[in-house]
Structures are given as structure tokens and as C-alpha cells.
Structure 1
């Protein structure tokens, strides 16, 4: 008995689209290039054929025809972290929607020489531009001192949270106000690493909010974004906790905080409240589900691509829109319990 080999479906071509729409391939080409003068009914037939056939333009062929590359190099790092990975995901979708292919190059955030080598490697290709996504001081310095031969956009920081200079849109102000409304007065911040822009922003926001709301900060403990660092931060505290609420710099840190508190016999939220930042997909399934600050990282990635493509087209980047964080209240926060 002869086994039949599975057939491999051929990708649709511009000629397939033309045949399905009942037009010439030249008409399809004109429509894809945005030429005016195509009758609405013809445009509708071609658009429907493109959708049904799943046609995708051949970017290499387009580059040969137009003399313009449709590839973007995205330089990034620490993509195991929620912020950088979601920013990259948003950038990838935005580039694809604009007709560009995103080449992702992951940098060694602690090796400036390796960063320069990665940039040199990227520039060996025919690129429309370079999108540099940086979250740390080390990477930002390496990118700012690099030489690019194509348009490039440097997006510094993995979030765009306001600093203490704009307390009216301070994301952590909403978190601290929520805790204050529950009766909490003594709080501790489990911060991210100081070399990260986002960590410094969040610490400044926390400190500004404490002052504005008349709360008492019982300390800022720096971690490294990991659940382990949140767990270890609680281990440094005395048995009699100095605060009734812990404000973690991200959700993963909050996860470690909750476990450490539970192991020490403190119930969350009956005895102590815990909050995070990011609203990672798993946050709603923590035990208990985590109260957190939702950040639109994907929108930041889209914004970065829009900035770069404006430079590629020879124009000025548009103003960046304000991205306001959203407080998501779940069951890890509750009314303060009077101390015995």
C-alpha cells in the first residue's frame, strides 16, 4: 500500500487574486500601491479576493520593484520580562500591519561590546530602519552612542508611567489611594532594580503618592522583578510587620510577597494587602487574585513603530499619546485590620 504524502498548500500570488476577482494583475498591483481611479466595485472584488485567499505581498519582490526595504530590525533585551515581551509583541503586529517585516535581535544587556556587535550585525542587512527598545541605563547608553546608517528610533524605558512631576496621572497614586480608602496608613514598596527606568519611575510615583495621601512609607526594598526577590524581601522584615500593605513593583514580585506572607502566617487580604503592577495574564489567577495596575504595553510597541515609520518616510514623529494606567481591583486587597 502506497502512503500518500500530505499536500503543501501553495501561498496565493497576485495572479491568483486577479483571477478570483476577475481583473488583470496590473489592476491588483495598482490597488496594492494605493493608486486612485479604481472603481469601487472593482476595489471591493479585489479586497474580498485578498481576504479569501489569505494573500500576503512578497516584501522581497516589493523591495526589488520599489528600491525600498520593508525590513525593520528590532533591538531589544530581557524579553522574559512581561513589559519588554508585550512591547515587542505590539511592535511586531504594528510593523506587519504597515507592510514591514520585523527582525528581532536580542541584546546582552550587560555587555556593551556585544550590543555593538549586534547592531553591526543588524546593519549588514538591507533595512528600512532600526527600532531600539531599551529598559535599562546600560542598554540605553550603548544605543545612544551607536552609529546607525538608517533611520532609527530609540524607545527608552519599558513603560511610560508619569513621574512625580505629573502627580495627577500618577498610576501608583490610584493604587495607594485604593489602599488608603481601605484604611491602610503604613505601606512598604518592593521596588524593581534601580538601573531600570521603569523601576525608578514607579518608586518616584510611590513616594509622591505617599506624600500626597498623607501615608507613612515604612521602607523601599529593591528587587529584580522576580517572584524570588519579592519572597526574599519579606524575609528581611521583622516578625512584627512594619506595614499593613505591600506595593510591589510588578506582579511577579507580588507573587513572591504573597507566598512569603502566607508562610509567616499572615493571611492576604485578611491581615495584610498586596498589590502589583502590569496585570500579567496570570494575575487574575493568583491566590488570591491580584489587585494590580494594568499597563498597555502593546500600545507602547505600536507607538514606537509609528514613530520609526514617520522617520523612515522623512517626516517628523507624531506626538506620543498619553497612556493612562488602569487600576484593576481584585481580592488581594481588603480593609485594614486593627493590630492586636
Structure 2
């Protein structure tokens, strides 16, 4: 900074004002200082600025399942929203959900100087293992339990499942079979509950659930069992990838979709419009989920009190559903 000041012919305090984008420097002087910075290769010390201002401009994200479609999309949107607000994102994968792993993740994020943490861990184990979140950092939880005293941002999973089931019942199907997500997943549990309660409220038979693991392979395996049952005319899969596996299984068993069996997914991933037949599904806004999680955390950092947010879902009707044949 002293070298920049000497080259530009100004005081060190003026260089500091320019480096921190203060307004009390005239345009000519600012341009001369910036030119000196470029010539000398000077960059402001972000760590020193953070210590001085008490703000690191960093957001930590703790995540459990990096490979799932929903997680990768939400991470992408969190990064986009954070960058747009001038924050860097530090990603901290957790390989196993237990107290030590979560504590280690918080400790490492604290060492990397973040202002707050977004937790993207969908598993029940966050509660069932008795995991307590360490104090000292502002926290927002995405797609998980509301059992913590932190803001929760989630898709309205229950209503999305309700829309899927209502659509199939209104087409005339007597009941709806369900290919569920993992038993340990909060989103899967909410979708399963929406499916179950909607059928019960309509006075319909509640079929046995076939559990998958979000993959097309697990959907295919469940689909083979469903295809072998001639009474099955409607299937709601908890995500589009499992719905893809169900479609393949029905095709291999000569069960025409939608003439004999209707199929609905959840997510509205980009490829779903190009399945054969194009998939009727529940659209959830990953952009809104990522944006709201970042905005909730920034609200906490500004000493505000964000409220829990349920991002609405939307039924997208395509060619994989029809009245029963």
C-alpha cells in the first residue's frame, strides 16, 4: 500500500479509501491510484479487511449427498445467488452424518473464515443420531427437518405429491401406486406423506410402497414389480429419475404408457420433457430454493429474523398420463 501511495503521489489513507471503494475520493485521484495498483500488481488483503470489518464475505455449505440431482441443482443456485450478492462459497462435504463429522465440518468452515452456513443434508439422521449443530455461526437448513431453531427453506414437498395424486385420481384411476425415495430422506418422507394422506382423504386403497434410492435403476426394479400386477394403472414416482426406470420396466413388460398405466414424476428435470412418452411431473424451483436460502442467511447476518419458507410446486402435464384404459 505504501508503494502504491508513493507511485500515485497520495497518502496511504487515500489508497485505503480507494481499495475499500469509499466515495470520498475524487475521480481523478481514484483513477491515478487504480493505475498505480495495476502497475505494481497490488491487491487488497481480503483477510485483513475481514478482520477489520468483521465480515468475511464467505458462505459455507455443508452437504451430504453430492451426487443427487436435487442437491447439485440447489448447490448451483446457492453459488449463483451468493456470487450475485458478492459472497464466495466454501463447500464442505460430510461423508457420514454423526456428531463428530458435523462438528469437524463446522470447525473447518470456521477456519476458512465464513460468515454463516447453509446445511443441505436431507437425511433423517440429522435428527435421529442426536446430532446437535454447534453454536457460533448463523445457520440456514435446506430440505431437512424443522426440529431445529434455525430457519428452514424447503420445497412444498407435501403439496407437490398431493397435486400428483389428485391429477391421477381426477383422470379416473381408482388408486395410485408409489415408488418412494430413501427411507432416511426428508423430501422423500414429505412426498410419501402427501401421497398417503391424499389417497386416504379420497377414501381410496393405500397400496404397498416400493422404496428406491433416487436412481433410475431402483425405479426400474420397482417398476418390474408393478408391471407384473395387472391391477396397477397409475404410478407416482418420488423423482423423475426413478420414473424413468418405471417407464422402461413398463415398456419391457408390454404395459403401454399411458394407455394402460399412467406415470407421474417429481422434479421436472430438463430431460423429463424428452422421455418417451414425455413425463408428467411436479416442477420444483431449485432457483427459488437456492435464492431463498442465501437471502435467509444474509437476513440473519443483518440481524434480521427470517421466516421458514416453503417454495411452491407446480404440476406439469405431459403425455405419460391419461384416463385408465
So what's the TM-score if we normalise by structure 1?
A: 0.76
Q: Which residue of 2 aligns with 1:166?
A: none
Q: Relative to structure 1, is the Cα distance of residues 186 and 155 closer, same or farther in structure 2, using a 3 angstrom cutoff?
A: closer
Q: CA offset at residue 149 of structure 1?
A: 2.6
Structure 1 position 152, deviation (Å): 2.4
Aligned pair 1:127/2:114, yes or no?
A: yes
Of residues 274-283 and 116-125 in structure 1, the stretch that sits farther from structure 2 once superposed is: 116-125
Partner in structure 2 of residue 282 of structure 1: 271
Question: What secondary structure is seen at the aligned counterpart in 2 of 1:123?
Answer: helix
Are the structure 2 counterparts of residues 238 and 172 from structure 1 closer, same or farther at C-alpha, using a change threshold of 3 Å?
closer
Change (3 A) 1:62 1:94: farther
Partner of 1:223: 212
Distance 1:309 1:280 in 2: 28
Contact 2:162 2:194 in 1 (8 A): yes
Query: Are residue 150 (structure 1) and residue 145 (structure 2) matched?
Result: no
Q: Which runs of 5+ in 2 are unaligned?
A: 1-13, 32-42, 145-152
1:143-292 to structure 2, matched below 5 A, reads 144-157=131-144, 159-161=154-156, 163=158, 170-237=159-226, 239-292=228-281
- Which runs of 5 or more structure 1 residues have no equivalent in the other structure? 1-23, 47-55, 164-169
Question: Which of 107, 111, 116 is the matching residue for 2:103?
Answer: 116
Q: Tell me what 1:311 maps to.
A: 300
CA distance 1:86–1:323, shift in 2 (3 Å): same
CA distance 1:184–1:25, shift in 2 (3 Å): farther
Distance 1:319 1:57 in 2: 36
Question: Which moved further from structure 2: 226-235 or 236-245?
Answer: 236-245
1:102 equivalent to 2:97? Answer no
Distance, in Å, in 2 between the alignment partners of 1:143 and 1:99 is 35
Whole-Å Cα distance in 2 between the matches of residues 299 and 110 of structure 1?
26
TM-score, L = length of structure 2:
0.79
How has the CA–CA distance of structure 1 residues 142 and 132 changed in structure 2, closer, same or farther, with 3 Å as cutoff?
Answer: farther
CA distance in structure 2 between the aligned counterparts of 1:259 and 1:82, rounded to whole angstroms: 20
Residue 167 of structure 1 corresponds to: none
More deviation, 233-242/280-289: 233-242
